[in-house]
Amino acid sequence: MSLITKRDVSKDLFQRLPATLELVVAAMAIAVLAGIPLGVLSALHKDRTIDQLSRMFAFAGVSLPRFWIGIMFQIAFAYSLGLLPITGRITGDPPTHITGLYLLDSLLTRDFPAFMDSFKHILLPSITLSLSPLAQITRLIRASMIEQLRKDYTVVSRIIGMPENLNIYKYMLKNAFTATLTVIGLLFGWMIGNAFVVEQVFSWPGMARYGVNSVLRNDFNAVVGVTLVIGVGYVLINFIVDLLYGYLDPRIRLKK
């Protein structure tokens, strides 16, 4: 029970959990989908212009204060250009409640205007949240791809004339990605932490914002609830990562 609102903390939490989940998953999707090609590109063009640019980008990505870059995005894309909404998850009513993830719900109910609208809303916050993980994933993929480039099997497949793209994306990337996986698990924790800041900037009605407001109101029960849910979620994510390891690497799967 909350000390201030006298409402059930768990009910409040689960009502807000999907919003945070949606934000974090979207941000992670951006980080992984953009980070892998960027990392592969800079590994293949090591020390050339592309690599130098991605290195600059990586340094900037980990050094930018999340709340500040979020505000800068708001000034640029929302206030000045008027392209994207400033805050919130959706204009008007949310789509029919199925999972609580607006993007998924609107797709399931074939409500395309709602989908586009929530897509526009999630764009800025998720990009803001994804920048630092994106930078870290890029660097990691680059480092492990460079390692793979030196391996014997790469040289052999080149000699026997295997198409370069098949070689890169099917064999080398699979090996390179295993090393990145652990870090992705850890980055989820980082993202949940920084979701607190990003949700505040974009008035995203998620669990993290609820947590911050509870701290500000000295609502101790609610704070404990938020911390507990996040701790459990973090452990779960790392458990899933361990399972994925086995899927990607047969040596681990078959080891007793």
Partner 1 sequence: MKRKQKGNLARAFYRFKKNPLSLIGLSIILMMASIAIFAPFIALYPEDAGGAVHFEKMFQPPSWNHPFGTDEVGRDAFSRVIFGSRISLMLGVVVLSVAVLIGVPLGLFAGYFGGKVETIIMRITDIFLAIPPLVLALAVTAVLERNLQNSMFAIAFTWWPWYARLVYGETLSKKEEDFVEVSESLGASRLYIIFREILPNMTSPLLVKITLDMGYAILVGAALGFLGLGAQPPTAEWGTLVSLGRIHLPKMWWLSTFSGLAIFITVLGFNLLGDGLRDFFDVEVE
Kindly report the backbone phi and psi dihedral angles of residue 95, in degrees, each rounded to the nearest multiple of 5, phi listed first: -65, 165
Under rule CB under 8 A, residue 211 binds partner 1: yes
* Residues 19, 21, 22, 28, Cα dihedral to 10°: 150
Question: Which one of 33-41, 120-128, 207-215, 247-255 is the stretch in contact with partner 1 (CB under 8 A)?
Answer: 207-215
**Roughly how many angstroms between the first and final C-alpha of the chain, as a whole number?**
45
Kindly report the backbone phi and psi dihedral angles of residue 231, in degrees, each rounded to the nearest multiple of 5, phi listed first: -60, -45
Under rule CB under 8 A, which residues in 156-195 are in contact with partner 1?
189-190, 192-194
Are the CB atoms for 101 and 206 separated by under 8 Å?
no
- Residue 23 CB, nearest approach to partner 1 (Å): 15
By beta-carbon proximity to partner 1, the closer residue of 20 and 118 is 20
Under rule CB under 8 A, residue 239 binds partner 1: no
Question: Which one of 16-24, 54-62, 111-119, 121-129 is the stretch in contact with partner 1 (CB under 8 A)?
Answer: 54-62
Q: How many residues bind partner 1 (CB under 8 A)?
A: 40
Under rule CB under 8 A, which residues in 57-86 are in contact with partner 1?
59-60, 62-69, 71-72, 74-75, 79-80
Helix axis angle, 220-248 to 173-201, nearest 10°: 160
Q: Classify 13 in phi/psi space as left (phi over 0), alpha (psi -120 to 50) or beta.
A: alpha
Interacting residues toward partner 1 by CB under 8 A: 59-60, 62-69, 71-72, 74-75, 79-80, 189-190, 192-194, 196-197, 200-201, 211-212, 214-216, 218, 220, 223-224, 226-227, 230-231, 234-235
